[in-house]
Amino acid sequence: MTNLTYDEIPYESLAYADTHPNKLATLATLFGLTPPAVKTSRILELGCGDGTNLIAIAQTLPQAQCWGVDASIKQIQAGQNQAKQLGLFNINFTQLHLSEIDESLGIFDYIVAHGLYSWITPALQDTLLRLCQQLLAPQGIVYISYNVYPGWHMENVVRDLMRYHTQQLPQVPFEISMKQAKGIINFIAHLRQQGNTAFDLLLQEKMQLFKIATDNYLYHDFLELDNHPVYFHQFIQNATQHQLAYVTDIEFRHYLMLSFPDQVVEALEELFQGDFFRQEQYLDFFYNRTLRRSLLCHQTVPVQRNLHWENITQCYIANASQPVNSNFFQTRAGETITVKQPLTQLAMAYLAAHYPRSLPFEELFQYAYQQHSTTEPNLPTLRANFAQELLHLYCLEAIEFHIELPAFVTTLNSYPTASPLARYMVSQGQQPVINLRCEFIYLDEVATALLPHLNGQKDKSTLLIVLKNLVKQRKIKLAPQEDIKLVLEKTLFELLQNALLMA
């Protein structure tokens, strides 16, 4: 098993919305940085696999220059072929090992290394960080994901068991080894199914994972030779040695301790002793964290450790949360959050009604101010309170911030155009498809059949004829009472809301 390579067992490539430069630039801005302009940026993905993630990014940033590097020639060729079929000329794929990369690639504004750091030797981890420092623009941002302790101590029990079991086998095909590896976990999980210890719960969780995850994914997560989780403080020490500074984590909400009672926060702050990195490490223990997705910058760039409301005034704001009543909203995750201030309530309701549209902060504030008759004479105070509550809602993951407008359209035009990547995926029979937010979206039967025809050359009347023909050809089924015009409008609107339509 240890001789198998990424050429023989390609890692399952996906799109990761949190690696998009717009997300990285937005977070950097909130922490006081001035990141490079996203639309015209140079983007590098190290360990890009077959390029799925970078292609999803590249189609949303036609003026950017995207470079993908991977050690697997088969993966690189797959990325090159797909980019060519999609007509993406702002993306380049190069087959190189980390040790072969040098400054001849140029300088990059955004560098992404997802699922790479933990799966290479410690020596190559140093190489990766050195390259990030050398190839990063002065105000640039690096994204690195990595497995962390203490959570991975438990994960390693499962990994060690699977590796030990398969190493006892003679040389057998990959599929048989994976069947055996999953089998030993299922066997022990069934024996312990009445238990309720942390280990028992972990085994039950893995049994469910094995039902849906591909063998390729499971092999690289549990049987790969190199898997080197670290503690957060160890990662920071290594990054510091390579002149890189920590900015934030993609998931920083829990680390703000918003859900803790005041007395708990006070007790924790005494434990942290005002040391930000000490706080981050202790909270990793508290949450038993298994994964971090960290943003880094050059050490010469100052980072604000406390979030300031002034920084969000540069952002566009969107809201996918749905109003329950005037001061309660339900997030996409199903969490009900409270909105206290009348101006913020008005802004949230407006954004929810027009999602996925984003409004600049100033425009949103002026809208809410004009809609509400307030006796507050101090406009700067009102504006500051408005911004502070929006920042709080963002930290609760109730609303979205974007430093630049996303690529998708928010109103239907005369000739709807679907994302080229989504159309390509549908033509290949792939579900779910990737939208212009780099998210995976499942399409219903009608949307799946209609999507390939949304090439920007057909207006609604032509699309209506297309839809009628699809029904006649029995490629889609509609109930006898359904109005086909309404079906078309509903489908186009859903594609719009799911960020699948572009200008």
Residue 121 confidence (pLDDT): 93
**What does the pLDDT look like over 215-254, one tens digit per residue?**
888 888 888 888 999 999 999 999 999 999 999 999 888 7
Arithmetic mean of pLDDT, 317-338 = 91
219: tokens are 């092999």
Confidence of residue 376 (pLDDT cuts 50, 70, 90): low
Alpha carbon 107 to its chain's center? 24
Q: Using pLDDT thresholds of 50, 70 and 90, give the confidence band for residue 257.
A: confident
Q: What is the pLDDT of residue 415?
A: 95
Q: Give the pLDDT score at 418.
A: 96
Q: How far apart are the C-alpha atoms of 242 and 239, rounded to whole Å?
A: 5
Which pLDDT value is given to residue 9?
A: 74
pLDDT grade for 2, boundaries at 50, 70 and 90: very low
Reported confidence tier of residue 5, pLDDT bands at 50, 70, 90: low
Predicted pLDDT of residue 1: 33
| pLDDT tens per residue across span 155-193 | 999 999 999 998 887 777 888 888 998 999 999 999 998
Nearest in space to 420 (alpha carbons), one of 318, 364, 500, 332? 500
Helix axes 232-241, 122-135, angle to 10 degrees: 50
pTM, rounded to two decimals: 0.93
Class of domain 17-149+229-298: alpha beta
Residue given tokens 């809609």 in the structure block: 371
% the chain with pLDDT above 90: 77
Give the closest residue to 111 by CA, choosing from 31, 33, 26, 24: 24
- Phi, psi of 439, deg, nearest 5: -110, 160
pLDDT at 265: 84
SS3 track for 158-218: HHHHHHHHHHCCCCCCHHHHHHHHHHHHHHHHHHCCCCCCHHHHHHHHHHHHHHHCCHHHH
pLDDT in tens, 393-424: 999 999 999 999 999 999 998 999 999 999 99
Pair 367, 350: CB distance under 8 Å: yes
**471, HSE (Cβ side, Cα atoms, 13 Å):** 16
Report the candidate in 241, 155, 227, 218 with the shortest Cα–Cα distance to residue 12: 218
Lowest-confidence segment of 72-81, 259-268, 300-309 by average pLDDT = 259-268
Mean pLDDT of the chain: 92
In the chain, what are the domain boundaries? Answer: 17-149+229-298, 151-223, 309-402, 417-502
